[in-house]
Amino acid sequence: MKTLFPSTQLKIWLLILSITFVLFLIGLFLPMMTLTKLLLFKDTISIFSGIVTLLNQGHYLLFILIACFSVFLPILKLFLLFQILFHNQIQTMQQKKLLQLMHDYGRWGMLDVFVVALLIVTVKLEAIASIQIHSGLYIFGLAVLLIMLLTHKINKQFEELKMS
């Protein structure tokens, strides 16, 4: 079976994947924003704390949606990408199908970033509260974009190998 990438390119993609994994984990736990209501109440929110709050408040459907699309599926995708790059080949059709499925779902990986954006717009329209954005939002967004880039690059490389 042919390899996906030459040795030097492979090392670069593995490094990018490793950095992406670290950024993703950091982005989950770093504060994304601080919501201040009436200058008295401050609530700093990270993706992890937001998911835990949804669970604690009994919003199980939202908890499952956000946890799946923002935490579990991206981690699964990172492990699949690592496996493919580590072996430098897509070994089975099942891997190819999983990669394609994850590439297709990838558009939903930033679901919580869009939820935060909607919350910011909603609160900005209110004179009662203000929002301060923190680095967690940018780090998590960067990690999701890098995951999408890696998936696209591996998919494209695999398609080119199939053609030749």
Say if residues 81 and 152 touch (Cβ distance below 8 Å): no
Helices (H), 30-134: 47-56, 60-67, 73-87, 93-105, 111-125
> What is the structure's pLDDT at 11?
92
> What is the structure's pLDDT at 135?
92
Q: What are phi and psi of 133, to 5 degrees?
A: -85, 140
139-163 per-position pLDDT tens digit: 988 998 898 889 888 888 888 877 7
58-88 per-position pLDDT tens digit: 989 888 888 888 888 889 889 988 988 888 8
Alpha-carbon distance of 163 to 22, in angstroms, equals: 34
Q: Which band of pLDDT confidence, cut at 50, 70 and 90, is reported for residue 32?
A: confident
| Predicted confidence (pLDDT) at residue 3 exceeds the cutoff of 60 | yes
Domain boundaries 7-163, corresponding CATH code:
1.20.140
Q: Which band of pLDDT confidence, cut at 50, 70 and 90, is reported for residue 25?
A: very high
Alpha-carbon distance of 139 to 112, in angstroms, equals: 13
87-143 per-position pLDDT tens digit: 887 777 777 787 777 777 766 665 656 666 666 565 555 656 777 889 998 898 899
| Predicted confidence (pLDDT) at residue 38 exceeds the cutoff of 70 | yes
User: Which amino acid, 45?
Assistant: I
Query: Among positive and negative, which fits the CA dihedral 99, 100, 105, 107?
Result: positive
How far is residue 108 from each of residues 31, 34, 163, measured CA to CA in Å?
21, 24, 29
pLDDT, average across residues 29-45: 83
Number of neighbours of residue 68 by Cβ within 10 angstroms: 15
Instruction: Tell me the domain boundaries of the chain.
Output: 7-163
> What is the structure's pLDDT at 19?
96
> What is the structure's pLDDT at 26?
96
